[in-house]
Amino acid sequence: MSGNYFSRLHWKLFFPLIGLLWLIIGITITYFVTHEKQRQKENLENRLMNVNTTVIDAYDRNVNLKETVDFIRLFTDNTTLAPLRITVYDKNGRMLADNAEATIPFNNGNGNMDSDYDAMSAPDGRPSVSEVVQDGRKIMVSSMKSADGNVYSFAALPYAEEVTDFLSIDPMVWIVVLVLGMVITVIAFFGVRAVCRNVYTLRDFARTASSDTLPDNADRWRFSNDELGDVSRDLLALYRDKIHAEREKIYHEQQIAMNVRHELNTPVGIIKGYLDTVLNDDSMPETMKMTFLRRAQQNADRLASLIKDVSMVMNLQDGGESIDVEPVDFQLLAGRIADDIVQGHISDNMKFVYDIPADCRVMVHESLLINALLNLVYNAARYSGGSKIELKWLRRSGGMHWFSFADNGSGVAPEHLERLFDLFYRVDNGRARRFGGSGLGLPLVQRIIVAMGGTIDVDNKEGGGLRFTFSLPTA
């Protein structure tokens, strides 16, 4: 269980990150400690050399060297230089001054200057500093020779407690480093967790994506306020829209299937009723039998037309039917439709007029376009209650010709406008059934226009009536 826990992305990011941060802290503090120790050591070396410089300067000014040494010791007591040893020799090895309790041995057993100390005396008379081991103890020693070569001054500083404390690092530094490291560790932990929260949420999102459902707590998923959080929120919103669209599609398809069954069952039931009546009543008068058969035939024709319209609408909607287009003179086509309306009494008592320019050529499927326009005429004649239908050219823009098809009837209530192109939708079911409406006419018009590359919208015209505004590609 613990192995799986520490294999999570959070820990895979956290451990390398915190390791790198601690490495940087370690390198930084090591450099600081080393640099600080070196600085402290150089400080002691400079103070030792200053002691020798003071002694040799006193010799050059003929000041008593013993008094000079005692004076220096007086000012070094209770300081880091408290263990300081000062010894002054002449060139013959005779001691001229020292602090008696800590004399620096100058000569070796043969009476000559010890080679370690002789090597310290710089030939140019400048003070020098070296480290020697005496009686097993490490000592920092500075040596300086007078300009005339007669006097040697030695200042030594054993690594006693005062010196060791001076060269050591203040424990508070380590406490600060530890606290800083812990703070950085905590910040890194929560920082990585904040980044990984989006990843974990996206993981949960991916696990639910295949089921087309979101958990009940999806609204409580938390994303950080950064670019990754923005991406996560956008993905969740897109998926919500996808689920909503798919549910709407399923609901829409279910409604279509239900309406298709209902629309088909109506004429089928009527046909079956008339035929059953005729077949089961041998004594039925011939005239009544023919009346029933004609009504059965009318409903059979209605059923065939309904099946044809449903098939065409579904093919156009799914893109299953290829639309072949060709250049068509829209003015001539409108003229033929006007003649057909008059000859076939299609518009009842409504007057059909058109205003199309002579150079209006469109790329369309001619018979489908005629079907769409006649459906608009049928719709206006049956349901508008008006006296005039007008087909009018509006403009040419963006490679499209724009037209309006309007009547001067009563229009429809605003809440119905956006649903007029829905399959089987009727503004007034009772009235539509009296006139034989199936709710397929306007959906068929919309799908024909779109299949030919155009668009169509509908609104209520000022002054009354319904207006369809549609576009068709320019030839």
Over the stretch 371-427, which tens digit does the pLDDT of each residue have? 889 889 988 888 888 899 999 999 999 999 999 999 999 888 888 888 888 776 766
Looking at residue 103, the DSSP 8-state letter turns out to be P
Token pair of 230 as six digits:
């923005």
pLDDT digits (tens, 9 = 90+) for 337-369: 888 888 777 777 889 999 999 989 999 988 788
Distance from C-alpha of 274 to C-alpha of 303, rounded to nearest angstrom: 15
pLDDT value at 60 more than 70: yes
Residue carrying the six token digits 């072949």: 324
CA 130 to chain centre: 64
pLDDT > 70: percent of the chain: 72
Q: Is 20 exposed, middle or buried (0-12, 13-18, 19+ CB in 10 A)?
A: exposed
* pLDDT score recorded for residue 238: 72
Distances (CA, A) of 51 to 76, 97, 446: 10, 13, 107
Domain with CATH 3.30.450.20 in the chain: 7-169
Distance from C-alpha of 86 to C-alpha of 75, rounded to nearest angstrom: 13
CB 409 within 8 Å of CB 385 = yes
95: number of Cβ within 10 Å: 14
Residue carrying the six token digits 């909607």: 317
* pLDDT score recorded for residue 360: 94
Single-letter amino acid, residue 422: D
Distance from C-alpha of 451 to C-alpha of 407, rounded to nearest angstrom: 25
Half-sphere exposure of 467 (CA within 13 A, CB side): 14
Hey, which CATH number is domain 7-169, 3.30.1370.60, 1.20.120.720, 3.30.450.20, 1.20.1560.10? 3.30.450.20
* pLDDT score recorded for residue 414: 87
pLDDT digits (tens, 9 = 90+) for 266-303: 677 778 888 888 888 888 888 888 888 888 887 787 67
* pLDDT score recorded for residue 353: 93
439/401: higher pLDDT: 401
SS3 (DSSP) at 299? helix
Fold of 322-473: Heat Shock Protein 90 (3.30.565)
431/198: higher pLDDT: 198
Question: Strands of 85-90's sheet, edge to edge?
Answer: 95-98, 85-90, 151-158, 137-145, 128-134
pLDDT confidence bin for 460, thresholds 50/70/90: very high
Residue 467's contacts (CB-CB under 8 Å, 6 or more residues apart) are: 404, 405, 406, 458, 459, 460, 461
Domain with CATH 3.30.565.10 in the chain: 322-473
For 50-73, letters b (16+ CB in 10 Å) and e give: ebbbbbbebbeeeeebeebbeebb
pLDDT digits (tens, 9 = 90+) for 66-121: 888 888 888 887 777 888 888 888 887 788 888 765 556 655 555 455 555 555 55
pLDDT digits (tens, 9 = 90+) for 128-171: 777 777 667 788 888 888 888 888 888 888 887 777 777 777 77
Print the SS3 string covering 347-394: CCCCEEEEECCCCCEEEECHHHHHHHHHHHHHHHHHHCCCCEEEEEEE
Alpha helices in 281-355 (DSSP H): 286-318, 330-344
Return the bridge partners of 113, or none. 107
Looking at residue 100, the DSSP 8-state letter turns out to be G
Residue 64's contacts (CB-CB under 8 Å, 6 or more residues apart) are: 58
Q: Domain spanning 212-321: which CATH class is it, in words?
A: mainly alpha
198 closest CA partner among 166, 172, 230: 230
Print the SS3 string covering 162-183: HHHHHHCCCHHHHHHHHHHHHH
* Mean pLDDT, all residues of the chain: 78
SS3 (DSSP) at 130? strand
The DSSP code sequence of 396-412 is EETTEEEEEEEESS---
Mean pLDDT for 201-205 is: 68
Mean pLDDT for 427-454 is: 68
Return the bridge partners of 95, or none. 89
* pLDDT score recorded for residue 329: 95
143: number of Cβ within 10 Å: 24
pLDDT value at 212 more than 90: no
Distance from C-alpha of 395 to C-alpha of 402, rounded to nearest angstrom: 5
Domain with CATH 1.10.287.130 in the chain: 212-321
Handedness of CA 380, 385, 389, 394 (dihedral sign): negative
448 closest CA partner among 252, 330, 332, 315: 315
Strands 388-397 and 351-355, sheet pairing: parallel
